[in-house]
Amino acid sequence: MKRIYAALAIAATLLVAGCLPVTSKTPVGTTAGLGADQALYGTWVGHSQDEKEKGVAYFHFLKGKDNEAGTISALMVTPGDNDDDWMSFTVRTAKLGAHNYMNAVATGGNGAKIGAGEKAEEKGGSIPLLYSFGKHHTLTLYMLDEDKVKAAIQAGKIAGTIESGDYGDVTITADAAALDAFFATPEAAKLFKVFIALKKAE
pLDDT digits (tens, 9 = 90+) for 160-180: 999 887 767 899 999 999 999
Residue 183 included in any domain: no
Domain count, the chain: 1
Quote the pLDDT of residue 22.
92
Say if residue 15's pLDDT is above 70: no
Distance in angstroms between the alpha carbons of the first and the last residue of the chain? 19
Residue 168 included in any domain: no
By the 8 A CB rule, do 73 and 9 touch? no
Say if residue 122's pLDDT is above 70: no
Q: How confident is the model at residue 2 (pLDDT cuts 50, 70, 90)?
A: very low
Separation of alpha carbons 189 and 185, rounded Å: 7
Structure-model confidence comparison of residues 149 and 112, the more confident one: 149
Residue 98 included in any domain: yes
Separation of alpha carbons 18 and 152, rounded Å: 23
Residue 155 included in any domain: no
Structure-model confidence comparison of residues 159 and 51, the more confident one: 159
Residue 152 included in any domain: no
Residues belonging to the chain: 202
Separation of alpha carbons 170 and 154, rounded Å: 11
Element (H, E) at 6: helix 4-17
> 111: domain CATH number?
2.40.128
Residue 130: which domain range?
Answer: 4-18+34-144+190-200
Closest CA to 62 of 86, 40, 93, 35: 40
Per-residue pLDDT, averaged over 112-116, amounts to 46
